């Protein structure tokens, strides 16, 4: 396991802030023993949770162009045929993964190819499982086309808690299956929009692992 680069600044600032709080208590509160140790315990647990949030498990990616890998850790909350209105403007199979604050928050490419579209949309912060969050929340849309001309759309969606989406994808980038495309801070959701003829390999409420679980196959 390693700590994601997006967590470095927050971890340093948090450590300095927590240390300042404890130093203040020790310097200005005469009978600080009980309060001090309670505060120290609380801040230690909070710091461990922040470290846990930015963790990145290390594992080998099994690249297979016949498979569509899961883009994020979490739980499958949507599997349905929908009208995709931003890019394809036709019917697609939507599969959505909800990421709780306890999940790993790295987002990964589901297949290899070339990034054909990447766009950020400002928006609302509805709870991530709300049906309208996919089209009304702050979000980033990325479309990758593989060597066979098949395109899939990945959408990073900010939720009620998540207030910052980080996307590394730019038009023209070469996407490698399983590699990072971005990061969402503090819980959210990722949608995939796939061709209708794919074979789905997951089910509703299934726990999935980004870069490891096979979402569907061609």
DSSP 68: E
CA distance 51 to 84: 36
DSSP 89: -
Specify whether 133 is catalytic: no
Other Cβ atoms less than 10 A from the Cβ of 83: the count is: 10
Name the catalytic one among 96, 134, 169, 188. 188
CA distance 57 to 159: 23
Backbone angles phi and psi of 197, in degrees to 5:
-95, 10
Buried b vs exposed e over 163-190: b needs ≥16 C-beta within 10 Å? eebbbebeeebebebbebbbbbbbbbbb
- For helices 8-28 and 33-53, what crossing angle results, to 10°? 180
CA distance 122 to 134: 12
Catalytic residue numbers read 188
């Amino acid at each position: 396991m390693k700590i994601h680069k997006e967590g470095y600044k927050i971890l340093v600032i948090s450590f300095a802030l927590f240390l300042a709080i404890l130093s203040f208590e020790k310097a200005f509160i005469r009978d600080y023993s009980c309060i001090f140790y309670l505060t120290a315990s609380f801040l230690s647990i909070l710091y461990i949770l922040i470290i846990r949030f930015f963790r990145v498990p290390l594992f080998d990616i099994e690249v297979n162009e016949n498979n569509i890998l899961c883009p994020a850790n979490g739980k499958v909350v949507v599997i349905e045929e929908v009208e995709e209105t931003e890019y394809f403007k036709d019917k697609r199979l939507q599969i959505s993964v909800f990421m709780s604050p306890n999940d790993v928050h790295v987002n990964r490419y589901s297949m290899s190819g070339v990034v054909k579209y990447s766009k950020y949309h400002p928006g609302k912060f509805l709870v991530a499982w709300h049906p309208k969050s996919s089209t009304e929340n702050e979000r980033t849309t990325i479309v990758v086309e593989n060597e066979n001309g098949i395109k899939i759309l990945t959408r990073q969606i900010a939720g009620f808690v998540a207030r910052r989406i980080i996307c590394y994808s730019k038009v023209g980038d070469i996407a490698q299956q399983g590699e990072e495309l971005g990061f969402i801070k503090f819980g959210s959701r990722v949608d995939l929009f796939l061709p209708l003829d794919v074979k789905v390999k997951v089910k509703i409420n299934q726990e999935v692992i980004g870069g490891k679980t096979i979402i569907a196959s061609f």
